[in-house]
Amino acid sequence: MVDLLLWLLAVEFLGLLALPLAFVLFRRLPDRGFSLAKPMALILFSYVLWVLGLARIAPNSLVTIAGILAFGAIAAGLVWRGHRAQLAAFFRREWRTLVVGEVLFLGFFLLWAGIVSEIPAINHTEKPMDFAFLNAVLQS
């Protein structure tokens, strides 16, 4: 249960960091990129960490993760500051849409967590390869 809450907090935090960038990049969408902020954050964060490790610029460590998060927070703050009035107006106007998006995300997150919790074995589909990748990352 603690792992589930940690994952949820991590995804929500990364989504908040990516929200100003998604707001600017996906401004033509009805939700201005709110629903894409979390997947975009996970992809960008993972990709940057992977590239830094692959290029041997920085190791896969907590310091590197903290650095990426700090850089993301600074970038998000700059974008937020530049679009503060637009963001505030959007949140006031579309808060119901944002709540529905969050409820849907939370519902599917909990649904998938329930499904995965019933089948924790690593002996089918892509799980053996995922487990191998995870072990390789942990040992690097």
pLDDT at residue 133 in the model: 86
The CB density around residue 112, as the number of other CB atoms within 10 Å, is: 10
Query: Which residues, 6+ apart, have CB-to-CB distance to 33 below 8 Å?
Result: 19, 22, 23, 24, 25, 26, 27, 40
Residue range 60-70, pLDDT digits in tens: 899 999 999 99
Angle at 68 between CA 75 and CA 66, to 5 degrees: 120
CB 29 within 8 A of CB 37: no
pLDDT at residue 139 in the model: 84
Kind plus residue range of the DSSP H or E element containing 20: helix 2-25
* Average pLDDT score, the chain: 92
Query: Which residues, 6+ apart, have CB-to-CB distance to 106 below 8 Å?
Result: 8
For residues 51-76, average pLDDT: 95
Pair of tokens at residue 95: 């808060």
pLDDT at residue 107 in the model: 97
- pLDDT higher than threshold 90 for residue 56: yes
CB 39 within 8 A of CB 29: no
- pLDDT higher than threshold 80 for residue 24: yes
**Helix count and strand count (H, E) for the chain:** 6, 0
Residue 103's domain spans which residues? Answer: 2-139
Pair of tokens at residue 123: 């002996």
pLDDT above 90 as % of the chain: 78
Count of domains forming the chain: 1
Residue range 81-130, pLDDT digits in tens: 999 999 999 999 999 999 999 999 999 999 999 988 888 777 777 778 88
